[in-house]
Structure 1
Amino acid sequence: MNKILLFYPPGALFQRGEDRCQQNVDDGSAQAMRACNDLGYAAAVLLNKHYEVKLRDYQTEGATMEDLHRDLTEYRPDLIMMSITNTTIFDDLKLINEIKDKYSPIVVLKGALFYAPEQAMLDLLDLSHVDYMIGGEVDFAIGEVADYALRGEGKIEDVLSILYKDENGGFKRTAFHTWGEDLDSRPFPARELMNNALYKRPDTDEPMATIQTARGCPSNCVFCLTPEISGKRVRFRSPENVLAEMTECYERHGIKNFFFKADTFTINPDWVQKMCRLIIDSPLHGKIQFTANSRVRPLSKETLQLMKEAGCFLVAFGFESGSDEILKLIKKGTTVEENLQAAKWCHELKLPFWGFFVIGFPWETREHILKTKKLILKADPDFIEVTIALPFYGTPLYDTCKDNNLLAESVLGSDFFHSSMRGTMHLTIDELMKLRRNILLSFYLRPKYIFKKMGECVTHPGVFINYCKYGIKLVVNLFKS
């Protein structure tokens, strides 16, 4: 039986399973590592095809390169698949070259970087030791890639959204911008191979599973890769299928907390209502809790109330900016008034919420960013993150930055906290970083905020300890040189 190793490499913590936000977890303000669902989906597909599979998230385990090499020596996989990020790609390729030279496995790289990539970008990378690159949805590709590479079965040119090495050493592309439709037919991630205890709810440290409820986003945000990678038409799983995965997590793995992964969980109010009603009417009600991302449009107070009744303990909004001018320029499709309305509803319902904000868009001035700070303090979320705009290849933001000479270097190797940009048309990158620090400290160090969080933790000392850990991490990161 052919052996396959699926892994995240040792090193700093990155959300390697994400397509649009491959967050640097170590340098963020309050992010927790999410489950390695991309590896889990791949493992489930391969197990169904009767491959022997080993799955390791070395980075989140805190494992070392010695651990990786020990596994390669003892397990001797015929094929390996490693998830990469834009930020880590150069180090990832150095590691792959070393592995290929020493152990000679078939090498598959998985990452959004390889979705319909520009040839000029590929030319920057040493791909000489790579055999296949999966740029799209891994569960619609890895099984067919393995069958072709290991068993000589199928037609590689029919596999969606990949690049494969031809007989001359060059790479050929298959069809991009075409997606698998039947999400209910996908197996659930192979959590029996995942170390589920690694992926924790930030406040309680309890295991938290990621469940992808939908793929695709109809929005036009200039900075986001999702419409390019997953399509502008949202493909939903049935609520019944989602509930079945939740039930498996609860009954087989003892997991009671869930992150519903969707680019906007609330985009279809009817779907959300059916999902929440199913949970409320199920044996899981009162035993599980979940968090989800949402846009402020479309949204209603009734939807948020039903989500809370079903077990939602926190909702996350991509507010992005406190300037209507900037919201229009980034094609967010929302307004500052709608941002404040969503915040008001959450406060009224006593539903905690997270606010995500981005500064450093090409057109931004200091005044624009101060409006964002004003929005943050007025909306008063429970938690916030402020990142620097990152112009991914393939996004309109990248083209705008390139056209206006705002790129200091290649976007490869950069992240939300170590930007590849020179700054905006009006502010330097150093000025942006100082503004980010000012916003975060002004928000989190308010006596009102600190006493509020202390009050919430009176009966939950463990939660208070975790808040303190994240607070210390925030301050340390903000004052690192």
Structure 2
Amino acid sequence: MKILLVNPPSPGIYNLIGLKLPPLGLAYLAAVCREKGHQVEIVDLQVEPRSKLHQAFSRCDLVGITSETNKVHQALKVAKEAKERFGLPVLMGGYHATFLDEEVLRSGWVDWVIRGEGEIPMSQFLEVLDKKSDLTTVPGLSFLHQGKLVRTPQTTPPEDLDALPLPARELLPLSKYWMTQVEGEPAVNVLTSRGCPFSCSFCASSQFSGRKWRSRSPENIFQEIEKIYFDLGYRGIAFVDDNFTLSPERVERLCSKIEQNRLKLKWWCFSRADTIVQNESLVRKMARAGLRMVYLGVESVEKSILDEYKKKLSAEVARKAINILRKYNVKSWASFILGSIRDTRETILRTVEFAKNLAPDLVQFSVLTPFPGTEIYEKFLKEGRIVKLNWKLFDGAHPVLKGDFLDTEEVKKLLWKAYFEFYREWRYLPQAFSMLKKIMVTSIPPLAKMKETHYWKERLQRVYSSFHAPKMENPPMGTS
């Protein structure tokens, strides 16, 4: 079977400034499909023209589309075009389709929805489709039958992540993602674990992938890093796990492998602040292995709001974590969520002042958004607090909730004020100018083309050198 996997374009500021990462979920699905003997093509509309999509429609048998809430309207546009113009069957997955499968199916442009992690259901679905057998035997599948919604029992996510094939990055237009960098090095994303044992009220991760944390072994992760380093020529990596440092021992073993094999990497990861505070020796080892930045969810300075978010962290722990990172020359990227239903103008301004005193290297202010699948989505929907049920606005930048003390317009003004207050400090001017430069380069095609050529010329030279380098006394694993 010829399968086309599509990543719809993303709206929002991060897309505008070029912070785009390859759709890793589709690359995993592609690898699984190819193991089963299918031909697979990926089109990423974040970075590729729609004309390529039209060409791909003409040579496939099945279209699979991923859907996040703020771009589900784009996902449905792709589905409509595939079905109406080309008569193709359409399968959809991802967070939004998982939690609002009926809404997606009743659009009339989607035939099936795979809920949750897709590798196991996708493999079985293709087998059933090929044999024209009973769809109800496929776990985690939703579809309409005679106008009624059918949901098959949810499958258990894959336990042994080492058994999954490595993502098929060779199917992705890797040269198009050069804007995402770690200290000047173009970066590729890597996922080393799934599932989340925490229950933050604003996050759907534990509902999508389960509460059980499942991890890949350091040996399996290093195998992927070697491929990225030697075959693709990357020196930058973004570890995109929700809980990369949840097992300090696992990360220490991985760092030892990176050091022992003399890989010159620059990388960043997500972590909880309490893990940093409780494991200073881990930070020291990660820094030696190339760690350059850690993303921390601080969220608020107000204890009552942190309790409402079920964050189970304090602002003081975040301060200690950033001080430890600074001690080892690791930059911090602190995230704050404004617009809790309990927030007032005063609590938000206190959080902004706390962010300024905390002095992370980068800060991200978002507004509380009740994404489908989160605890607060069902709660606030019932309470009538969601005043703008427009999925295009569910991006963390547009307020959609009516709080006890602030309406959406007041929260929007405070969001802009938060960014202005933080980045007007003289020490943050370089970051502000860098962001403006990225917007300009991304928006002006000739500049983007020049920059892309420059980076990829360097990368190709680097890859060539890695295969023709003189032998070392202790060569990296996998080389001679």
TM-score (norm 1): 0.85
| 1:152 counterpart residue number | 132
Equivalent residue in structure 2 for 1:103, among 65, 83, 86: 86
| 2:96 counterpart residue number | 113
Evaluate the alpha carbon distance shift between residue 303 and residue 48 of structure 1 in structure 2; reply closer, same or farther with a 3 A threshold.
Answer: same
Deviation at 1:350, TM superposition (A): 1.5
| 3-state DSSP of counterpart to 2:169 | coil
Aligned: 1:67 with 2:41: no
2:287–2:330 CA contact under 8 A, matched in 1: yes
Which structure's residues are more often helix, by fraction?
2
Deviation at 1:42, TM superposition (A): 1.1
Q: How does 1:120-199 map to 2 (within 5 A)?
A: 122-123=102-103, 126-152=106-132, 156-166=135-145, 168-176=146-154, 178-199=156-177
| 2:467 counterpart residue number | none
Cα RMSD for the two superposed structures: 2.5
| 2:209 counterpart residue number | 230
The amino acid across from 1:294 in the alignment is S
Equivalent residue in structure 2 for 1:291, among 264, 268, 277: 268
Q: What CA deviation, in whole Å up to 9, does each residue of 1:40-61 have, x standing for no partner?
A: 1111111111111111112223
| 1:469 counterpart residue number | 437
| 1:40 counterpart residue number | 27
Q: How does 1:304-383 map to 2 (within 5 A)?
A: 304-383=283-362
| 2:15 counterpart residue number | 26
Q: What CA deviation, in whole Å up to 9, does each residue of 1:234-287 have, x standing for no partner?
A: 001111100001111112111221111211211122222222122222242xx2
1:406–1:425 CA contact under 8 A, matched in 2: no
Evaluate the alpha carbon distance shift between residue 158 and residue 213 of structure 1 in structure 2; reply closer, same or farther with a 3 A threshold.
Answer: farther
| 3-state DSSP of counterpart to 1:141 | helix
2:121–2:139 CA contact under 8 A, matched in 1: yes
| 1:478 counterpart residue number | none
1:202–1:466 CA contact under 8 A, matched in 2: no
| 3-state DSSP of counterpart to 1:115 | helix
Q: What CA deviation, in whole Å up to 9, does each residue of 1:81-103 have, x standing for no partner?
A: 11122122234323312321221
Evaluate the alpha carbon distance shift between residue 158 and residue 116 of structure 1 in structure 2; reply closer, same or farther with a 3 A threshold.
Answer: farther
Evaluate the alpha carbon distance shift between residue 106 and residue 24 of structure 1 in structure 2; reply closer, same or farther with a 3 A threshold.
Answer: farther
2:238–2:267 CA contact under 8 A, matched in 1: yes
| 3-state DSSP of counterpart to 1:5 | strand
Equivalent residue in structure 2 for 1:392, among 362, 371, 384: 371
Q: Distance in 1 between matches of 2:313 and 2:40?
A: 44
TM-score (norm 2): 0.85
| 3-state DSSP of counterpart to 1:26 | helix
Deviation at 1:466, TM superposition (A): 4.3
2:2–2:39 CA contact under 8 A, matched in 1: yes
Q: How many residues align?
A: 439
Q: Distance in 1 between matches of 2:184 and 2:124?
A: 37
| 1:401 counterpart residue number | 380
Deviation at 1:468, TM superposition (A): 4.4
Q: Distance in 2 between matches of 1:165 and 1:129?
A: 12
State the identity as a percent.
27
Consecutive unaligned residues in structure 2, runs of 5 or more: 442-480
Q: Distance in 1 between matches of 2:265 and 2:433?
A: 23
| 3-state DSSP of counterpart to 1:218 | coil
Q: Distance in 2 between matches of 1:70 and 1:209?
A: 27
Equivalent residue in structure 1 for 2:255, among 272, 276, 287: 276
| 3-state DSSP of counterpart to 2:419 | helix
Q: What CA deviation, in whole Å up to 9, does each residue of 1:93-115 have, x standing for no partner?
A: 23312321221222111111232
Q: Distance in 1 between matches of 2:21 and 2:198?
A: 24
Evaluate the alpha carbon distance shift between residue 419 and residue 162 of structure 1 in structure 2; reply closer, same or farther with a 3 A threshold.
Answer: farther
Q: Distance in 2 between matches of 1:403 and 1:82?
A: 30
| 3-state DSSP of counterpart to 2:188 | strand
Equivalent residue in structure 2 for 1:85, among 63, 68, 72: 68
| 3-state DSSP of counterpart to 1:314 | strand
2:6–2:66 CA contact under 8 A, matched in 1: yes
Deviation at 1:149, TM superposition (A): 1.8
Q: Distance in 2 between matches of 1:445 and 1:317?
A: 22
